[in-house]
Amino acid sequence: MKSVLVTVMGLVLAVWMSAGRWFFGIGGSLTWWYVPAIGLTYAVLMLWIGHRMAVTAQRGRRTTRAVWVALILSWVCAIGFGLTVPDNVDGQLHTIIGAAAGSQFSAEMAIALCNPLGILAFALAFGALGFAIANGREPRPEEDEALDYAEAGAQHMAPHPLLSPVREDTSTPPEAR
């Protein structure tokens, strides 16, 4: 259920980041660049996070707080990015915040905030993906467990070819060697 929430939020925010200005009547030609470069990438990233969260749940593990904190911060930055990303309308750059404020200074400040918010949205999403992958992994054996297996005589790996005893080649006669 939580992975479905992440997937839906990711798809909604991908549309918001790439084409949200169209809802406010200031959509322009830059949307055709934003959709594949930003929207599609963010959507795939959120789908991947949702998948890894589902894998974690299937393995009987819980999703840690780090995933949720990184995801929520990424979503907040994605919302801010959607508000501040410019679009080219009639030869001028317009943003949602700039249109709401009505001043050119607000539009320029919004454009200045756009890149850091976008970078943070993606960086936090990649961090959430890393945490989600780590949550779903099987735990590695502790060092003591590995030593217990070795003492019991169980061999879990093939011997290293450089460290194992050298075998004598018996395929050729001794006089030919």
Mean per-residue pLDDT, 100-104: 69
Report the mean per-residue pLDDT for the chain. Answer: 82
Global pTM exceeds 0.85 = no
Please check the confidence at residue 90 and state whether its pLDDT lies above 90: no
* Lowest pLDDT segment from 62-66, 95-99, 172-176: 172-176
- Asked if residue 94 lies in contact with residue 20, where contact means CB atoms within 8 angstroms, the answer is no
Share of the chain above pLDDT 90, in %: 43
Strands (E) located in 64-174: 87-89, 92-94
As given in the structure block, the two tokens for residue 132 are 């989600």
DSSP-derived 3-state class of residue 12:
helix
- Asked if residue 57 lies in contact with residue 3, where contact means CB atoms within 8 angstroms, the answer is yes
Please check the confidence at residue 153 and state whether its pLDDT lies above 80: no
Please check the confidence at residue 177 and state whether its pLDDT lies above 60: no
Q: Which residue carries 């200074």 as its tokens?
A: 105
133 or 89: whose pLDDT is higher?
133
Distance from C-alpha of 135 to C-alpha of 68, rounded to nearest angstrom: 12
Distance from C-alpha of 170 to C-alpha of 76, rounded to nearest angstrom: 70
99 or 132: whose pLDDT is higher?
132
β-strand pairing of 92-94 with 87-89: antiparallel
Query: Tell me, what's the pLDDT at 75?
Result: 96
Please check the confidence at residue 78 and state whether its pLDDT lies above 80: yes
Domain boundaries, the chain: 2-141
For the chain, the distance separating the N- and C-terminal CA atoms, rounded to the nearest angstrom, is 68
In angstroms, the Cα distances linking 158 to 48, 92, 114, 164 are: 34, 66, 53, 10
Mean per-residue pLDDT, 26-41: 88
Please check the confidence at residue 119 and state whether its pLDDT lies above 60: yes
